[in-house]
Amino acid sequence: MECNAFHHWLRTRDGHNKQDSPGAMAHQADCSDCQQLYALDTRAEQGVALAFASQDLPRDLAEKIDQRLDLESPPSIFNGFISKHGRFKRFAPLAGFPAILVGFMALVMILAGVFTLHTPSFKNLEQISEQAVTDHLKGNQEISFDTTALYQAREMFKRELGFNVLLPNLDSQGVLLVGGRLCTLGKCRAAYFVIKKQGRTGSLFIMDTDYLDFEIADKSRFSTTIKGCAAEVWKDNGQVYAMVF
């Protein structure tokens, strides 16, 4: 197997299949670049699986929630139609039909609002800056790859995020790239890079413009200072960049 064939296999392999291709395993054992790419991809798969793993509720938690909801539930429009024994009261035919219909329509609208999933998004540049500073100050500077595996990392980012992650011209800004990993900026999936400038450690977040709920001109920059950190946000190459020092 050649490198191109190995890259194709890696992009299309089933992460739930415990038995990997013998040919692919033999190739990555002899090719250090593909071996690094395989290890990086495997760690990414494990991280995604762990993030979305389901957990059992503590015992009696569901029952306690139901009891609490019963205590705090506001009066219902159906209360007038239900007896103390839980049975519907007898009324003249169709007498309560309009109220029941209104109640049913309201219930449908509430359930539709609860179960409709909205794509996470940012409303303005200030919100992006604040979130980038908040995540930067958490101090999680763990990286899953360094600059020697940057090519493999870009392949992984493309597969996981759905777009080609393009780094800005860091050299022109006197910024040194250390490494990076997959992350979330708030609730939006993004690429994260650890950077350094004049002895200071910073964070660089790159995400897709699909997470923007507003328009921003290409190459326009927004700079601000939050909690003692200098934050800069801009759009270029069809991507959004947030840099914090």
Domain borders along the chain are 3-51, 61-115, 125-244
Strand pairing of 145-146 and 229-236? unpaired
Condensed to tens digits (0 to 9), the pLDDT of residues 22-42 reads 888 888 888 888 888 888 888
Residue 115: per-residue pLDDT: 44
Q: What percent of the chain has pLDDT over 90?
A: 43
Domain 125-244 has CATH 3.40.1000: yes
Residue 217 backbone class (left: φ over 0; alpha: ψ -120 to 50; beta: rest): beta
Confidence at 220, pLDDT banded by 50, 70, 90: confident
> Minimal CA–CA distance to 92: which of 104, 81, 102?
81
- For the segment 84-106, the average pLDDT, to the nearest whole number, is 58
CA distances from residue 98 to 10, 104, 112 in whole angstroms, order as listed? 60, 10, 21
Flag whether pLDDT at 92 surpasses 50: no
Confidence at 230, pLDDT banded by 50, 70, 90: very high
Confidence at 195, pLDDT banded by 50, 70, 90: very high
Statement: the pTM of the whole predicted model exceeds 0.75: no
